[in-house]
Chain A
Amino acid sequence: MTRAAGRAVTRAEYCVVACAEAWRDDGEILASPMGTIPSIGARLAKLTFSPDLLLTDGEALLIGDVPALGDASSVTEGWLPYRKHLAMVLGGRRHVMMGASQIDRFGNQNISCIGDWARPRRQLLGVRGAPANTVNNPVSYWIPRHSTRVFVEKVDMISGVGYDSAVAAGPSATRFHDLRRVVSDLGVFDFATPGHAMRAVSVHPGVTLQRVRESTGFALAAVPDGCVPYTREPTDEELRLIREVVDPRGLREREVRA
Chain B
Amino acid sequence: MSDRRGPDHRAGKIMTPDEIVGRLESGMTLGIGGWGSRRKPMALVRALLRSGVTDLTLVSYGGPDVGLLVAAGRVRKLITAFTTLDSIPLEPHFRAARERGALELVELDEAMFMQGLTAGAQRLPFLPIRAGLGSDVLRVNPHLRTVTSPYADGEELVAVPALRMDAALVHMNRADRFGNARYLGPDPYFDDLFCEASATAYVSCEQVVGSGRLTGHAAPQSLLISRHTVTGVAETPKGAHFTSCVPDYGRDEPFQKAYADAAADPEAWAAFHARFLSGTERDYHLAVQAWHKEQR
Q: Does B130 reach chain A (CB closer than 8 Å)? A: yes
B134 touches A168 (CB 8 A): yes
A134 touches B140 (CB 8 A): no
> Contact partner of A90 among B82, B130, B187, CB < 8 A?
B130
A157 to chain B: closest residue by CB: B136
A171 touches B155 (CB 8 A): yes
A172 touches B156 (CB 8 A): yes
B111 touches A120 (CB 8 A): no
Stretch at the interface among A124-132, A139-147, A194-202: A124-132
Bitwise interface map of B from 18 to 38 toward A, beta carbon under 8 Å scored 1, else 0: 000000000000000001000
B99 touches A112 (CB 8 A): no
Stretch at the interface among B87-95, B169-177, B232-240, B262-270: B87-95
B189 to chain A: closest residue by CB: A82
Task: Return chain A residues, CB-CB under 8 Å to B187.
Answer: 59-60, 81-82
A121 touches B99 (CB 8 A): yes
Tell me, rounded to whole Å, the shortest Cβ–Cβ distance linking A173 to chain B.
4
Tell me, rounded to whole Å, the shortest Cβ–Cβ distance linking A30 to chain B.
15
> Contact partner of B111 among A90, A122, A176, CB < 8 A?
A90
A164 to chain B: closest residue by CB: B134
B111 touches A129 (CB 8 A): yes
Tell me, rounded to whole Å, the shortest Cβ–Cβ distance linking A172 to chain B.
5
Q: Known interface pairs A112-B107, A157-B140. Does A132 touch B156 (Cβ–Cβ under 8 Å)?
A: no
Tell me, rounded to whole Å, the shortest Cβ–Cβ distance linking B39 to chain A.
12
Q: Does A165 reach chain B (CB closer than 8 Å)? A: yes
> Contact partner of A86 among B80, B114, B156, B185, CB < 8 A?
B114
Q: Does B295 reach chain A (CB closer than 8 Å)? A: no
A interface residues, tally (CB under 8 Å): 48
Q: Does A183 reach chain B (CB closer than 8 Å)? A: no
Task: Return chain A residues, CB-CB under 8 Å to B89.
Answer: 125
B interface residues, tally (CB under 8 Å): 41
Q: Does B275 reach chain A (CB closer than 8 Å)? A: no
A79 touches B186 (CB 8 A): yes
> Contact partner of B134 among A112, A119, A123, A158, CB < 8 A?
A158
Q: Does A83 reach chain B (CB closer than 8 Å)? A: yes
Q: Does A135 reach chain B (CB closer than 8 Å)? A: yes
Q: Does B252 reach chain A (CB closer than 8 Å)? A: no
Q: Does A169 reach chain B (CB closer than 8 Å)? A: yes
A173 touches B98 (CB 8 A): no
Task: Return chain B residues, CB-CB under 8 Å to A119.
Answer: 98-101
Bitwise interface map of A from 176 to 202 toward B, beta carbon under 8 Å scored 1, else 0: 110000000000000000000000000
Q: Does A170 reach chain B (CB closer than 8 Å)? A: yes
Q: Known interface pairs A126-B82, A157-B136, A159-B136. Does A81 touch B130 (Cβ–Cβ under 8 Å)?
A: no
- Residues 76-125 of B at the A interface (beta carbon under 8 Å): 80-84, 89-90, 94-95, 98-101, 107-112, 114
Q: Does B133 reach chain A (CB closer than 8 Å)? A: yes
B133 touches A123 (CB 8 A): no
**SS of B interface (majority):** loop
B80 touches A126 (CB 8 A): yes
Q: Does B73 reach chain A (CB closer than 8 Å)? A: no
A122 and B89 alpha carbons, distance in the complex (Å): 14
A135 touches B134 (CB 8 A): yes
Task: Return chain A residues, CB-CB under 8 Å to B99.
Answer: 119-123
> Contact partner of B81 among A89, A90, A128, CB < 8 A?
A128
Task: Return chain B residues, CB-CB under 8 Å to A121.
Answer: 99
A121 and B131 alpha carbons, distance in the complex (Å): 26
A26 and B33 alpha carbons, distance in the complex (Å): 35
Q: Does A166 reach chain B (CB closer than 8 Å)? A: yes
Q: Known interface pairs A89-B111, A119-B99, A123-B94. Does A59 touch B132 (Cβ–Cβ under 8 Å)?
A: no
Q: Known interface pairs A113-B98, A172-B157. Does A132 touch B136 (Cβ–Cβ under 8 Å)?
A: no
Not counting A129-B111, A132-B132, A172-B157, a sample of 16 additional A-B residue pairs whose C-beta atoms are within 8 angstroms of each other reads: A81-B188, A89-B111, A112-B107, A119-B99, A119-B101, A123-B94, A126-B80, A126-B81, A129-B110, A134-B135, A157-B140, A158-B134, A158-B135, A165-B135, A173-B134, A176-B130
28 A-B residue pairs with Cβ-Cβ distance under 8 Å, sorted by A, are: A59-B187, A60-B187, A61-B186, A82-B190, A83-B190, A86-B111, A89-B111, A90-B129, A113-B98, A117-B136, A118-B140, A125-B90, A126-B82, A126-B83, A127-B82, A127-B109, A128-B109, A128-B110, A129-B111, A132-B112, A132-B129, A132-B131, A158-B136, A159-B135, A161-B134, A161-B135, A171-B156, A172-B130
Task: List A residues at the B interface (Cβ < 8 Å).
Answer: 59-61, 79, 81-83, 86, 89-90, 112-113, 117-132, 134-136, 157-162, 165-166, 168-173, 175-177
Task: List B residues at the A interface (Cβ < 8 Å).
Answer: 35, 80-84, 89-90, 94-95, 98-101, 107-112, 114, 129-137, 139-140, 155-157, 185-190
